[in-house]
Amino acid sequence: MEGFEVCRDCHQKMGKIELVPTPTDVDKIEADQKWLYGIYCKQCRKCPLLMLGDADKASFGPNAEIETLPNSKLYKVEVKDLLKTEESGWFVAATQLQRFQQTLLNNAIYTLEEPPDVNEMESEFSLPTHLDQVKLFGDSGAVVGFAVIKLKGKQSSLEDPFAVNHLNIVDAVFVRKSHRRKGIVKKLIGKLLEEDDGYLGFSEPISKGLQNLLKSILISDDRTRDRLWSCTRGGGEGDKKNIWMSMK
């Protein structure tokens, strides 16, 4: 498409890729969502810019630094600018824009720029539904991590109204490579265990990195040994395994 910029790193012309739903559509079912395109460098696997039309600009509020895309009737905004936050540490994504930040971090950063390593049992994540709790991690003015929690008692499948989550389940967790090995996910687990004194589940497959962290927690704190479970579906009878017992 004429008017696309060249990549700042490799200086190749960038293309477009369907990237994320609009902020106002993040909690709708996929069939009802309008999606936005990112400007993407295939060679560098980076998506530094998001494309907007006239109708999309208002979704990002008056403080968004939106510019006109050269030789085009469209607009552009920096992905990094959309990930700004005044929050610090783990916090609940309570607004549409905050939940949108999770979709952007998942689709633009995790899936494209810092993709999952299958050798580490990492996997791509589906976007959360309106039934899921989203937590973000802020540091130095930017969102650098997210977690998706399937809440106990909530419907576990949009297709089955009778299926429910039997415990809180960490369905997805991601921290940018620049912020790993700093105890961020360990803080999340501690926070979740404090918020609810029941069981805490983790959706399978569990990555090797998270497995190692859970083993460390279980070995060092015997109070967690009957509380941490690996889960499929909603973690009901036959759909969960005690992680401590599985280690033996």
List, for residues 135-177, the tens digit of each pLDDT value.
999 999 999 999 999 999 999 988 888 999 999 999 999 999 9
Neighbouring C-beta atoms of residue 80, cutoff 10 Å? 13
What φ, ψ does residue 19 adopt, rounded to 5°?
-115, -60
Neighbouring C-beta atoms of residue 224, cutoff 10 Å? 18
Supply the pTM of this predicted model: 0.94
List, for residues 78-106, the tens digit of each pLDDT value.
999 999 999 999 999 999 999 999 999 99
Angstrom CA distances, 60 to 26, 38, 135, 223, stand at 13, 15, 20, 44
List, for residues 51-64, the tens digit of each pLDDT value.
998 888 888 877 78
Angstrom CA distances, 152 to 201, 224, 237, stand at 10, 18, 14
pLDDT mean over 210-238: 96
List, for residues 28-79, the tens digit of each pLDDT value.
999 999 999 999 999 999 999 999 988 888 888 777 889 988 777 889 999 9
pLDDT score of 3 more than 70: no
Cis peptide before 116 (omega within 30 of 0): no
**Between residues 124 and 158, the one the model is more confident about:** 124
Q: What pLDDT does residue 130 have?
A: 94
